[in-house]
Amino acid sequence: MKTRKIFALLTVMALLFSGAALAEGEADSVQIGTYTIYNKTGETVTEVKITDNVTGAANVFPFDGAGSLENDGMMSMTFDIPGGEDGSHRLTLSYKTESGREESFGTLSIEEVTIDLLAADAKTGATPIAFRKVEESQTGVYTFYNKTGETVLFINLIENGEEPATTLRYGFKDGLAPNAEHTLSLSVPANKKDVTLTLQFVTESGKIGIFNTLKIEEAPISLLDVDSVSGATPISFTAPQN
């Protein structure tokens, strides 16, 4: 009888442990929505926000509180929710334009999708966005290291040779401090072969660094002091050594 009781106790403990582990695993897992957003409003977009309809949590662009999304510009946002959701979870995508126009779409799903923010006269009924057909893309991922010796205010990535060009203009709310780092990415359609980008950065003192032949790749980039570099190249494709 005593042996049975011990066995039963061990069985209950094992079930409790496995249940706790399962619950912990569910808590740690997430569903991630990835949204590539193009500004087709005909004017500058000053804010893009994705809000959880249940919790009220929100992701807001510009991420550091400064900057904007110019007409025909592109940016990416992500949003995650607990992995145990059944697919019915919805988000609200909202945006504001320079002229004061405010729009929202309240039934955004957790998914990977490309979205156009529409001009007022391009809306279908009350819907201020349009979903693009999925197309293959190539993405450049760049980790920038500020080695200029001063604060960097802006970093711009602009596609060369295309009108309208894919553009990412990133402004730092408090600036990118000396020796700090920040990662940015830019996607262009996969059918554009041999595409290059122009990298621009502006420092607190007004110095401007320009590099015109950046490839679509994953690379570390050190931003250098414009006045101290040899030649005309204000960057180095290296990460600082600790």
Based on the fold, state whether residues 78 and 165 are members of the same structural domain. Answer: no
Domain annotation covers residue 171:
yes
For residue 87, pLDDT over 70 is answered with no
Residue-averaged pLDDT of the chain: 82
Q: Categorise residue 102: left if φ over 0, alpha if ψ from -120 to 50, beta otherwise.
A: beta
pLDDT of residue 134: 64
* Domain of residue 78, residue span: 30-131
Domain annotation covers residue 105:
yes
State pLDDT tens for residues 120-136. 999 888 899 999 876 67
Based on the fold, state whether residues 119 and 142 are members of the same structural domain. Answer: no
Based on the fold, state whether residues 112 and 34 are members of the same structural domain. Answer: yes
Instruction: State the total domains in the chain.
Output: 2
Based on the fold, state whether residues 185 and 225 are members of the same structural domain. Answer: yes
Average pLDDT in the 185-190 region?
A: 81
Tokens of 182: 């920040």
Residue, of 107 and 22, whose pLDDT is higher:
107
Average pLDDT in the 58-77 region?
A: 83
pLDDT of residue 146: 96
Based on the fold, state whether residues 127 and 142 are members of the same structural domain. Answer: no
Predicted TM-score (pTM) of the model is: 0.53
Residue, of 187 and 5, whose pLDDT is higher:
187
